[in-house]
Amino acid sequence: MNQKILSSCLALVLGAGVGYALDAYAQAKPEVLVKQRQAVMILHGKYWGPLGGMAKGKVPYNAEIVARNARFLDALSQMPWDGFHPSTKDAQNTKALPAVYDDPAKFKEAQDRYRAAIGKLVAAGDEGAFKAAAGEVGKSCGGCHNDFRAKK
């Protein structure tokens, strides 16, 4: 492989102001972890938004968009959790509450409920199943957002 081109690609990615640990096992800086968590939530907005609209009947049901967005949400819903590393407990610019670090078992339960609901969303084969699954996703969002995230 072409090391030089790969290096410049890595430099480009670094140049984007992202920053990451080159060592797969090293922990990224707290502020990087927070940015990565927030990036996941921005993309939840992009891909859950239209599904929420469909579930509420504000947007016509579109099976193709549902299937694509559910697939993306399946990936996204796995991404935030390792970013809630203890090193981020005192990080700035985050609405994560101390409960994230003080009650990890309850936080994990909320994550698991959310992941299970997303699994149903991915498996939903028609509008009825989609609406039922979307309802569960909606409820499960609150599992983290109500108890582990500051309101303001």
Distance CA 75, CA 118 (A): 10
- Those residues with Cβ within 8 angstroms of residue 90's Cβ, 6 or more apart along the chain or in another chain: 30
Q: Tell me the window of 12-20, 86-94, 96-104, 119-127 that interacts with a copy of itself (CB under 8 A).
A: 12-20
Per the listing, tokens 């983290």 go with: 144
Ramachandran assignment for 57, one of left (phi > 0), alpha (psi -120 to 50 degrees), beta (any other): left
Decide: 110 and 147 in contact? Cβ < 8 Å.
yes
Is residue 63 at the binding interface for a copy of itself, with CB under 8 A as the rule? no
Is residue 93 at the binding interface for a copy of itself, with CB under 8 A as the rule? no
Is residue 53 at the binding interface for a copy of itself, with CB under 8 A as the rule? yes
Residues that bind a copy of itself (CB under 8 A): 1-3, 5-10, 12-16, 18-25, 28, 35-36, 38-46, 48-50, 52-56, 58-60, 62, 65, 71-72, 74-76, 78-79, 95, 131-132, 134-135, 137-139, 141-142, 145-146, 149, 151
